[in-house]
Amino acid sequence: MSKTTHHNLIIGQSGGATAVINASLVGAVQTALGDARIGGIFGMLYGIEGLLKEELIDLRRQPNQVWSQLLNTPSAALGICRYKLQAGDPERAIELLHRYDVHYLLYIGGNDSADTAHQLTLAAQHAGYDLQTISVPKTIDNDLLFTDHCPGYGSAARFLALATMDSSMNTISIPSHYPVKVIETMGRDAGWLAASSALGKRDEHDPPHIILIPEKPFNAERFLQQVEGVYQRLGYAIIVACEAIRDEQGQALGAIGQVGTDAFQHPLLNGAAQYLVELVEQRLKLRARFDKPGDLQRMASNSISRTDRDEAYLVGQMGVMALLAGENDKMVTLVRHMDPGRDKSGPYACTTGLVELAQVANAQRLLPDEYLSADKTMVTKAFYDYALPLIGDPLPQYPTLEKIGIRQ
């Protein structure tokens, strides 16, 4: 492909929306607008579904001020989809790309989206069509391989750390009312989000006291013993549980409230926290309640991490640069750099790299053992060193009153 020729670019957003996915879109569009090698800049409405339905918009003709405004706007401005390519879809997509003379494709999403981008690359090669495809990473689950972390995770982690601190304050203020609280987080098969709830924890008395993640099979008796132990010590207990935790037979606790599956056959779960609350009430005879932040953890604008936003912009920018450099069938990665001679708690810096899409598509990175305590119900210092730089500004530290009695 001659780099002196103008080529049209198309961009799509896919998977779950995040607080910073639009920053990646802005990074990509502003970079494309500034390079004469790119002609038209098109957007798919609702991801690959929009392309297949020929629902496209002209991004080059948008008002200039919209890009600076979108930089701090949560959710997905182009619209997203959870659509698994069906037989004939890749071929139709290539036909449409040919019709619009698109030779550059940028797809912003997670591991399922990486698979979609990879399939389009293969279809283009089979059809003999000159197409370059780059995937831009995005997922609050933080489970993509070959990247240090994923844009979207830092902001979601910040939200959950703050939410755990804030929600716990009510329990602490009146422990006799509902002494046990369960906070349920998102997370399909990995516990990165649940683990982030501990980022505001400064000592063993601070919440959360127990973290339940998919990497550790759930055992009811062990869990109840832990809850009772914390309750006896503090008078209350705060548990953070990933929605996808499973028992020792592999059955999701949330299956009692399962509401179907998505297009990729991932279960849509709705009952882990409810199950745990009922278990505590029935077996320990303690009043319990649960909080489920839901979509807020994905895209709360008041919890956007500046580090996360800047890196989301960066990967969008570098996605376009990779296309212009002739790269194809790759995903942009974030590469952490530390000052030589310092440990992982030293100054944080991040650059980018590239990895083959075939290595990323449909694969997951779980929490490594070094980030978890021996019983896998709490995080270690190594996790704090890893995650704290990603959430931006330091978290607040709430004071407590000294229990100083009145002298008469």
Residue 108: both structure tokens together? 């912003």
For every residue of 185-215, DSSP letters joined together read E--SS--HHHHHTTTT--STTSSPSEEE-TT
Write out the two tokens for 140: 């609050």
Question: Quick one: the chain helix, strand, coil %, rounded to 5?
Answer: 40, 20, 45
330: phi then psi, degrees, rounded to nearest 5: -130, 160
CA distance 271 to 38: 48
Q: What is the CA radius of gyration of the chain?
A: 23
Nearest to 308 by CA among 344, 350, 337: 350
- Give catalytic residue positions: 141
Q: Helix, strand or coil for residue 41?
A: strand
Alpha-carbon dihedral angle through residues 10, 11, 14, 18, given to the nearest 10 degrees: -170
- Residue 134's DSSP bridge partners are 106, 330
